[in-house]
A and B are shown apart, each in its own frame.
Chain A
Amino acid sequence: MILQVIVNGIATGCIYSLMALGLTLIYKSTEHVNFAQGEMAMMSGFIAFTFFQILGFPVVLSLLVCLLASIALGLIMERLIIRPAMRAPHFNVFIITLGASIVMQSVAGLVWTYDQFPFPSLFPSKTFSLGLVRVDGVSLGIIVTTGLLMVILYSFFKRSKTGIAMRAVSQSHTAALLMGISVKRCFALTWAISGLISGVAAILIAPVIFLSTRMGLVVINGFAAAILGGWGSIPGAVVGGIVLGILENVAPYYFPSSTRNVIPFAVLVGVLILKPTGIMGEERKRRV
């Protein structure tokens, strides 16, 4: 029984991992914190919805549009509101992304109203038996897709020239610039990849929790996951997300069910107070 709950938790956790991953990538390369990560997912979800529901495109094509839109959204955000504030303190950029999240939420509310909409799933709804546990198709699809995306991203950052250049930028902007890497282009690319991840998250999560303007709030779970795993650590983001997902699904069995909503916040505060470096984070020492 508990094993079953844990498997469901892993599926939820994969979504949080994706959110945390998007946040961490941007943080690692630009040291900016993107509060609008969840709203990027919400917007691209709604764009896909417009294509298949209102314009009548086939679902697969619409989901492709969703991914393209999420990349475009990342690029637009970077170019329009982040780059002009590149030299501003991180504090200011945080407020800017907060503003962006409010803008996207209100635009979505204006265009698509505050209702909830069903969203088609790519995965079959039948249940599979895997040894001791039974997994429904949607959860399995979420886990497999997330795993696949992780492998792709890993090989991109490990093997491809662009990926290696991006890792260089995240270590030192100046040194990367001196090696002939375009730092600006790498920043834009980071935002594009982060956007793409949010698009994938939208496709995976929207069929489960319905499409609504409130979907962007999943970014809070993303923050909790990234901090639990260790802020700034990519493996940490993945592990943190999955642990958070399991915690959220297991907690209602031991505590009153109303605690479920508070879990991400409790995790946030608990980790930051007890061990701010999280599971896998490293302590950063700053030179004065």
Chain B
Amino acid sequence: MRLPEKKTTLVLVVAALLFFLSPLYLSRYTIFVLNLFAIYALVAIGLNLVMGYTGLISAGHAGFLAIGAYVTAILSTDAGWMSPLLILPVAGLFTGLIGFALGIPILRLKGFYIAMVTLAFGVVVAEVALQWSSLTHGDDGFRVPRAVLGGFVFDSDGKLFFLIQPVTIAMTLVARNIVRTRMGRAFKAIRQSEIASQTMGIDLARYKTAAFAISAFYTGVAGGLFAYAMTHISPDSFSMGVSIDFIAMIVIGGMGSILGSIIGAVVLTGIQHVLSELPEVQMLIFGVSLIVFMIFMPSGISGMILEWKQKWPKKKPSSLTGC
């Protein structure tokens, strides 16, 4: 039943067109949720690089998201910067630098100690955002000015769609390439066995800090987009529970898989918005799926898809290795 090559391309082009024209025919709320999908997909990809690929548990990614969001808010208010093309990279790089700095003490630690330090990091960032109110407006929260790019004001979810989606797509493609390079292979080797990869000449210190820095960069950029999409940020948007939601995303989507990160982000954000009236049920679903996936399907939904594809192989099995 495989479509000929040309037809597949056509279908893809039509789907892409439909997707990019969606602000024209979908409701404002749907577009807002689509934007959140993209933002959380970026976070999940970032978290997956450090947790799924390199095997270092991070329970504090909400901290990186907060740093990215606050840098964006502060640059566009206090520094008066306008262009998101300038602000987002700076937010990403600054967060990446923090990630690099956090990566250094973590080099000495193993397994669950890393989870504890990152957890503490996330909580401390939220606490700093709460207490340093001269900079962050503390508990009142921060109104984020609109992004302006060459006179074009991103003042609605439909317009932000054209900022958020391209950034996410570009960064997803980059991540897909990162995991295929020498560095990506080193990440996977470190997850399998630190000692074995060290024996093979992989510089653990270099690649572990790199994993944290790149992961933080992704989450920082996502934080910037998050600030634009929400238009209002406050410390309680970045609590410990948010970090744990991110872990649930990649566990359910699939650890060590870019496709899985996107699936997980979409599924969890979708559930959050469908069940926004019932937070307890939401949490219950997340918790149960964490347990069930970890026991029965540790490679998540993307692993299930992969397994299913291998059971029913197509003519070109080599196309599977991409995800």
In the complex the two chains form, what is the Cα distance from A272 to B246 in whole Å?
24
Within 8 A of A (CB), among B96-144: 105, 108-109, 111-113, 115-117, 119-121, 123-124, 127, 131
Q: What are 23 A-B residue pairs whose CB atoms fall within 8 Å in the complex? A: A33-B112, A92-B294, A92-B298, A94-B112, A95-B290, A99-B294, A102-B283, A103-B284, A105-B287, A106-B280, A109-B280, A110-B280, A231-B113, A265-B119, A268-B116, A268-B120, A269-B105, A269-B117, A272-B108, A272-B116, A273-B105, A273-B117, A276-B108
In the complex the two chains form, what is the Cα distance from A173 to B77 in whole Å?
60
Residue B108 contacts which of A101, A107, A258, A273 (CB distance < 8 angstroms)?
A273
In the complex the two chains form, what is the Cα distance from A110 to B131 in whole Å?
32
Name A residues whose Cβ lies closer than 8 Å to a Cβ of B: 33, 81, 84-85, 88, 90-96, 98-107, 109-110, 220, 223, 227, 231, 258, 261-262, 265-266, 268-269, 272-273, 276, 288
B55's nearest neighbour on chain A, judged by CB, is A91
CB-CB under 8 A for A94 and B115, given A81-B295, A84-B295, A100-B287: yes
B193's nearest neighbour on chain A, judged by CB, is A288
Note all chain A residues with C-beta closer than 8 A to B289.
99
Q: Are A110 and B291 in contact (CB under 8 A)?
A: no
A80's nearest neighbour on chain B, judged by CB, is B291
Count B-side interface residues using an 8 Å CB cutoff. 38
Q: Are B120 and A99 in contact (CB under 8 A)?
A: no
Residue A106 contacts which of B113, B115, B117, B281 (CB distance < 8 angstroms)?
B281
- Answer yes or no: B38 CB below 8 A from chain A CBs: no
A81's nearest neighbour on chain B, judged by CB, is B291
User: Smallest distance from the beta carbon of A251 to chain B beta carbons, Å?
Assistant: 14
Note all chain B residues with C-beta closer than 8 A to A269.
105, 117, 120-121, 124
Note all chain A residues with C-beta closer than 8 A to B113.
227, 231, 272, 276
Q: Are B294 and A96 in contact (CB under 8 A)?
A: yes
Note all chain A residues with C-beta closer than 8 A to B291.
81, 96, 99-100, 103
Residue B247 contacts which of A85, A95, A105, A106 (CB distance < 8 angstroms)?
A95
- Answer yes or no: B171 CB below 8 A from chain A CBs: no
Q: Are A90 and B112 in contact (CB under 8 A)?
A: yes
Within 8 A of A (CB), among B193-225: 195
In the complex the two chains form, what is the Cα distance from A232 to B150 in whole Å?
59
- Answer yes or no: B238 CB below 8 A from chain A CBs: no
In the complex the two chains form, what is the Cα distance from A81 to B283 in whole Å?
18
Note all chain B residues with C-beta closer than 8 A to A90.
111-112
Note all chain A residues with C-beta closer than 8 A to B105.
269, 272-273
Note all chain B residues with C-beta closer than 8 A to A106.
280-284, 287
Q: Are B294 and A102 in contact (CB under 8 A)?
A: no
Note all chain B residues with C-beta closer than 8 A to A223.
116
- Answer yes or no: B251 CB below 8 A from chain A CBs: yes
In the complex the two chains form, what is the Cα distance from A276 to B106 in whole Å?
11
Q: Are A103 and B112 in contact (CB under 8 A)?
A: no
In the complex the two chains form, what is the Cα distance from A115 to B291 in whole Å?
27
In the complex the two chains form, what is the Cα distance from A276 to B124 in whole Å?
20
Note all chain B residues with C-beta closer than 8 A to A96.
290-291, 294-295
Residue B287 contacts which of A102, A262, A266 (CB distance < 8 angstroms)?
A102
In the complex the two chains form, what is the Cα distance from A98 to B247 in whole Å?
10
